[in-house]
Amino acid sequence: MTDTDAIDLASMLCSRLCHDMLSPVGALSNGLELLAGEKDPEMRQRCFELLEQSAQISADKLKFFRLAYGAAGGFGDQVDVAEARAVIDALARDAKRVAVNWALAESRLSKPAVKVLLNFAHMGIEALVRGGTIDIGAEVRDGATEIVVRAAGARIAFDETIGAALEGNLSKDKLSSRTAPAHLLCLLADHAGGGLQYRQTPDALVLGAVLPNG
């Protein structure tokens, strides 16, 4: 990756963060405006509830971005998967009608593996536009971390360009803030000597990764 490519990717990821934060932060602003002019006690209480909900969603998204794209976890090579699990459970609650099932054989995973797991789970949640179930599994076997995320539900919504970016088959001119996270995962997997793949059907999306350790 050239310096220009790195700058472009960083810019796209920042754009993605801003896009995803716009809705909950905008709701906070609107809620404060409504609260300032509202006199009815019941309506004021409702405003407070909406503000609390928007603030929680904003915090959940920021925690996700910190782990999924940032240098969270200090300088160690391993990250406690309980932290990643808490973030995904929160995003699933915010999305509503999404149930998460976990099958994690390890208590700690490498930073690249955690980033892949988080982004896979996030893609799965976004694909479940009508709700559904996400099964998330990860284990270390034969010197490599294997990750599988399966989202199942009615009318799976998954952009094929994201899948192409995951597998490294998306041309540079088609990279955008929407496909940047998948491109980042492809780079992480390639750097580790591993690979990513996906499979989509009308009612399921399966995302898989194998990342050699060390």
Quick: pLDDT tens for 147-181. Answer: 999 999 998 999 999 999 999 999 988 899 999 99
Higher pLDDT, 146 or 21: 146
pLDDT at position 103 is 96
pLDDT at position 2 is 77
Residue 183 has pLDDT above 80, yes or no: yes
Q: What is the CA radius of gyration of the chain?
A: 18
pLDDT bin (cut points 50, 70, 90) of residue 76 is low
pLDDT at position 125 is 96
Residue 28 has pLDDT above 60, yes or no: yes
29-57 average pLDDT score: 86
* C-alpha closest to that of 100 among 125, 81, 68: 125
Residue 3 has pLDDT above 80, yes or no: no
Q: What value does the mean pLDDT of the chain take?
A: 90
Q: What percent of the chain is modeled with pLDDT above 90?
A: 61
CA distances from 83 to 78, 92, 120, 127, 189 (A): 12, 15, 16, 23, 21
Q: Which of 5-14, 99-108, 111-120, 124-133 is least confident?
A: 5-14
Higher pLDDT, 89 or 30: 89
Which stretch of DSSP H or E encloses residue 95? helix 81-95
Which stretch of DSSP H or E encloses residue 40? none
pLDDT at position 75 is 47
Q: CA–CA separation, 95 vs 129, rounded Å?
A: 9
Residue 73 has pLDDT above 60, yes or no: no
Residue 201 has pLDDT above 80, yes or no: yes
